[in-house]
């Protein structure tokens, strides 16, 4: 075997090894996005199970606030539907509606001292608030995983393998402008 043949063989082996390393990195990022979504999904399911308990507890006290309770129930269903379909865009919109409804519900609870003193309500409010913080934390991790994935599949030389193996960009979990806007406390307490 000639020196040229050995050199060509070494270059081919190194190129193949480099391609394998790039491919494995892309796969790891793709699965990182899936894992981050699964972490959000777990918390969304937990919150989905807690909300009916909260609404039922509130119904016993808030007889005149039916619209607010119905809004929370409808928003809960919209989040559930988007989550089941893995529709990130629809989930962002539904989450905005649910968070607004919960904010209004908790603000209205201030008008019902017996409800605020109810152990079940206090527990559920704390549980749901904790889940909200967890979802916000996981959302940040998910968006970071999406960003890493999307950058890598567009960078050279990764883009060559990403296109060859049909790696697709993932969608960021974004929220409506209303979700990002300052809260109108007068409207909540008015």
| Res. 53: pLDDT tops 90 | no
Asked if 102 and 128 touch (Cβ cutoff 8 Å), the reply is yes
pLDDT tens for each residue of 59-74:
777 766 778 888 888 9
What residue ranges define each of the domains in the chain, with the CATH number in brackets?
38-152+168-189 (1.20.1440.20)
Cα gap 145→140, rounded to integer Å: 9
Cα gap 36→143, rounded to integer Å: 8
Name the token pair of 160.
Answer: 């060559």
Name the token pair of 164.
Answer: 């060859």
Cα gap 120→128, rounded to integer Å: 12
Cα gap 146→173, rounded to integer Å: 9
Cα gap 93→24, rounded to integer Å: 34
Instruction: Give the pLDDT mean for 109-138.
Output: 86
Asked if 55 and 69 touch (Cβ cutoff 8 Å), the reply is yes
The answer for residues whose C-beta is within 8 angstroms of residue 41's C-beta and 6 or more apart is 83
What is the percentage of the chain residues whose pLDDT exceeds 90? 40
| Res. 141: pLDDT tops 70 | yes
Give this prediction's pTM: 0.73
């Amino acid at each position: 075997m000639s020196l040229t043949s050995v050199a060509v063989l070494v270059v081919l082996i190194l190129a193949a090894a480099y391609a394998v390393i790039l491919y494995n990195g892309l796969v790891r990022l793709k699965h990182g996005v899936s894992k981050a979504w699964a972490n959000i999904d777990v918390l969304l399911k937990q919150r989905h199970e807690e909300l009916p308990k909260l609404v039922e507890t509130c119904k016993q006290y808030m007889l005149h606030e039916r619209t607010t309770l119905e809004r929370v129930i409808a928003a809960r269903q919209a989040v559930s539907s988007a989550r089941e379909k893995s529709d990130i865009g629809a989930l962002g919109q539904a989450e905005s509606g649910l968070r607004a409804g919960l904010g209004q519900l908790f603000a209205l609870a201030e008008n019902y001292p017996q409800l605020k003193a109810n152990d079940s309500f206090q527990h559920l409010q704390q549980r749901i608030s904790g889940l909200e913080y967890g979802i916000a934390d996981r959302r940040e991790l998910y968006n970071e995983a999406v960003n890493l994935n999307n950058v890598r599949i567009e960078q050279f030389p990764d883009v060559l393998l990403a296109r060859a193996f049909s790696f697709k960009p993932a969608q960021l979990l974004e929220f409506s402008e209303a979700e990002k806007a300052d809260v109108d406390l007068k409207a909540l307490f008015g």
